Amino acid sequence: MNANMTLAIAAGILIACGVYLILERSLTRILLGVIIVSNGVNILFLVASGHPGTPPIHGLFSEETAADPLPQAMVLTAIVITMAVTAFVLAMAYRSFQLNGHDEVADDVEDARIRQLAQADEQSESYEATRFSDTGEDVVSE
C-alpha cells in the first residue's frame, strides 16, 4: 500500500503549528493548539486508512470501492470529544479571567515549595520523627 504524501505533509504542518501553540502559556492559545493538533491527527487517520473511496454504505455503493469505515468511526468519536474538550477548556479560561484577569498557566506553587525544602536540605512537611525511648515517655496509649 502507498501513502498519500499531500495529506501526510498537511497533517505534519497542522501538528507542528498545534504543538507550537500548546507550548504557550495562554490557555486560549493552548486550546487552539489542541484543536489544530486534533485536526492534524484526524488527517493521519485518513492517511492510515489507505485510499479514498465511495461512502461505506451497504447497497448504495459497491463493496470494492468503499472507503475503510473503521477509521471513520474512530475519527467521528474524536471530533465530538474535541468539541467537549474545547468547551471545557474555554470555561476554564473564562474562570481564570474572572479570577485573575488573565488566562496564563502559572508554575505550580507546591512544586516551588518542595524546591525550597530541597535547597534548605529539609524533610517534607509530612515527615514526623517519633521515637520510643526506653522510659516510654513518648508512648501515649489508651
Q: How far apart are CA 51 and CA 4, in angstroms?
A: 8
Q: Are 39 and 98 in contact (CB under 8 A)?
A: no
**Which residues in the 121-140 window bind another protein by CB under 8 A?**
121-124, 127-132, 134-136, 138-140
Residues of span 4-43 touching another protein by CB under 8 A: 4-26, 28-29, 32-33, 35-36, 39-40, 42-43
| 92 to 111: interface string for another protein, x by CB under 8 A | xxxx-xxxxxxxxx-xxxxx
Cβ contacts of residue 117 below 8 Å, gap of 6+?
Answer: 123, 124, 125
> Do 92 and 74 touch, CB atoms closer than 8 A?
no
Shortest Cβ distance from residue 51 to another protein (Å)?
7
Instruction: Write each residue from 50 to 79 as x if it is in contact with another protein (CB under 8 A), else as -, in one continuous string.
Output: xxxxxxxxxxx--x--xxxxx-xxxxxx-x
